[in-house]
Amino acid sequence: MKPQDEFTCIVCPRGCRLTVDGDLLVYGARCSKGLTWANQELSSPERTVCTSVLVTHGDRLLVSVKTDRPVPKDSMRSIVQTLYDIIVEAPIAMHQVIVENPSDVRCNIIATQSVERIG
């Protein structure tokens, strides 16, 4: 993000419109959480990765998963690529750890739904 950019705070549904000046000062935040997020976004942006993973012997073909914490934005592609190559065997419990430290990024990939075993 460049100085004097405008962006939207994604911390809560109010979606405040934020601006950054040439000294990297943030304006427009209605609360301190938004200000903290904006400063994080300027220095090292992070996101929670949400995707799905193939399942075998399950009552559905895919299980939805997410990272258990925000990860560096530039690591998202490699995490998704790692998950693309994985097949998980059912049963799968909600919040079960599917992968630890994918692509050497410090996080766990956890299931956000359960999958029953069939067959």
List interacting residues with ligand SF4 (CB under 6 A): 9, 11-12, 14-16, 29-31, 33-34
Question: Can you tell me the distance from the alpha carbon of 26 to that of 18, in angstroms, rounded to the nearest whole number?
Answer: 7
CB of 8 to ligand SF4, least distance (A): 8
Q: Characterize 84-104 residue by residue with b for buried, 16 or more Cβ atoms within 10 angstroms of its Cβ, and e for exposed.
A: eeeebebebeeebebbeebbe
Nearer to ligand SF4, 12 or 61 (CB): 12
**Position closest to ligand SF4 via CB:** 34
Q: Is residue 102 a contact partner of residue 82, using CB atoms and an 8 Å limit?
A: yes
| Helix H or strand E encompassing 9 | none
Nearer to ligand SF4, 70 or 116 (CB): 70
CB of 99 to ligand SF4, least distance (A): 30
Nearer to ligand SF4, 34 or 102 (CB): 34
